[in-house]
Structure 1
Amino acid sequence: MTATPPGADGEARKAELAANLARVEERIARACDTAGRAREDVTLVVVTKTYPASDVRLLAELGVGDVAENRDQEAAPKAAACADTALRWHFVGQLQTNKARSVAGYAERVHSVDRMRLVTALSNAATRAEREIGCAVQVAFDAEAGSVGERGGVAPDGVTDLAGAIGAAQGLRLDGVMTVAPLAGPLAGRPQEAFEQLREISTGLRTAHPAATMVSAGMSSDLEEAVRAGATHVRVGSAVLGRRPPLR
């Protein structure tokens, strides 16, 4: 599927998004049924990167409650343009510490916390803004022990310490864990196994942090595998908004 070109009639775009949302909802519901899970146990987070605020507003009109961005310079103006909606904003990309203050102004959750310096920056920003921000530790199954993966994320052996730091940080709330299906390493091309390992990490984490129940995993191409493996949040972009134009 492709997105209706910019400038196309708003009602046509709304109908297109509604049809795409219905297909994604059907996929999630079917995956939940297969896994023996309730549909309400899985939150759809629509990733709106590269698409305009007008599309975000249409999603809100269609009943979407959660949207996400992966670049602050795109997210901040969109969040401001949609401030009159009830949307919950998630940040899901690699986050530079110097953008923490901006992100703390609109994001309710940051899924991509992967280093101590970022915990400190987000804590300072959240405290200054007098807000509480939910955080997930991003786990990279293609990262070497103690390191951060190329697309962000801490190696599995670093999750416990990072989660503890988030849990102790003022202004932050440890919500759980997140991953992106790895492109390298022993789990490359095996998203179901990666997501199952994330679930095991989540189970272990809840021993010390029982409220950290969020498991953010799965995108347009692998949401079924994520739901079967226990994901509580799936991050879907192109299946809802259409194929993105290639970067120039």
Structure 2
Amino acid sequence: MTPGSPRVYLDANRPERRAELAANLAAVRARIARACERAGRHPDEVTLVAVTKTFPVSDIRLLAELGVREIGENRDQEAREKAAACADLGLTWHFVGQLQTNKARSVARYASVVHSVDRVRLVHALERAVASVRSDPLRCLVQVRLDDEPGRGGADPSAAVELADAIAAAPGLLCAGVMAVAPLGVDPESAFARLAEVAQAVRSRHPEATWISAGMSGDLEAAIGHGATHVRIGRGLLGARPRNR
């Protein structure tokens, strides 16, 4: 491990850890099912992405045993190491964090989906990366900013369709839909209703862009009520993040 790199391989091989994860997974799936029932949707319409940032490979292996196939990570170095360590499991890796253009080539090697495409420059970087490191297309989601803080990640809602156009036009990239995080202090119902409007605008130009990645441990119900197809769950599934040693 290089100096300054995240400590991701903390010991989690306690005998009770599998039971703990199984109970958490059952609870999250029950929440998804209830939210879908209220929204008149089927639970199969919602994909659970387990966000394993700072949690060890042993947890990912336990989740895989429990049937979780979609894994989300926020940082390239950590994600790259974990994807290599779990290459035998056939998992689908989602990059859900802010992505610098100089990391595009690395992420394109292991990720099947990038949730955080928020600028045209990044589209071009991913296009070049895909051409050099993989033969299958890379799914990309337009990350939408749902507040008025320009320093935050995400494109302005007014720019989402134009960004989707750029992704769709880039060889090797597929525009899969949109992603957003409900801002702190903003009603999630209002935030995800706005995202649903943006998603519809993107779909009107790109009918294949059906994914809405929205909802985390604290607000997955609101997201599902507004059409989320993918929820990104960390704390609700894995518990509190382990402390560095």
How far apart are the structure 1 equivalents of 2:243 and 2:199? 35
SS at 1:105 equivalent: helix
User: What is the deviation of 1:197?
Assistant: 1.1
Q: Which residue of 1 aligns with 2:192?
A: 195
CA distance 1:143–1:154, change in 2 (3 Å): farther
Q: Which residue of 2 aligns with 1:137?
A: 142
2:21 to 6, 17, 23: 17
- Worse overlay, 39-48 or 135-144: 135-144
CA distance 1:27–1:168, change in 2 (3 Å): same
Q: Which residue of 2 aligns with 1:155?
A: 156
Report the residue type matching 1:73 in the other structure: Q
Report the residue type matching 2:189 in the other structure: Q
User: What is the deviation of 1:240?
Assistant: 0.5
Q: Which residue of 2 aligns with 1:3?
A: none
CA distance 1:138–1:8, change in 2 (3 Å): closer
How far apart are the structure 2 equivalents of 1:246 and 1:215? 32
CA distance 1:226–1:174, change in 2 (3 Å): same
How far apart are the structure 1 equivalents of 2:226 and 2:179? 13
How far apart are the structure 1 equivalents of 2:239 and 2:152? 23
CA distance 1:11–1:173, change in 2 (3 Å): same
How far apart are the structure 2 equivalents of 1:247 and 1:161? 41
Over the residues paired in the alignment, what is the CA RMSD in angstroms? Answer: 1.7
Q: Aligned ranges for residues 92-241 of structure 1 at < 5 Å?
A: 92-129=96-133, 130-143=135-148, 149-183=150-184, 188-241=185-238
CA distance 1:57–1:8, change in 2 (3 Å): closer
Retained in 2: the 8 A contact 1:176–1:202?
yes
- Worse overlay, 154-163 or 238-247: 238-247
CA distance 1:210–1:88, change in 2 (3 Å): same
For residues 21-52 of structure 1, the C-alpha deviation after alignment (integer angstroms, 9 at most, x for no partner) is 00000000000001110000000001000001
Unaligned segments of structure 1, at least 5 residues: 1-5
Q: Aligned ranges for residues 34-113 of structure 1 at < 5 Å?
A: 34-113=38-117
Report the residue type matching 1:219 in the other structure: M
Report the residue type matching 1:11 in the other structure: P
How far apart are the structure 1 equivalents of 2:24 and 2:220? 15
TM-score (norm 1): 0.91
TM-score (norm 2): 0.92
For residues 58-103 of structure 1, the C-alpha deviation after alignment (integer angstroms, 9 at most, x for no partner) is 1111100101001001100000000011210000010000110110
User: What is the deviation of 1:7?
Assistant: 3.4
Identity percentage over the alignment? 60
Report the residue type matching 1:242 in the other structure: G
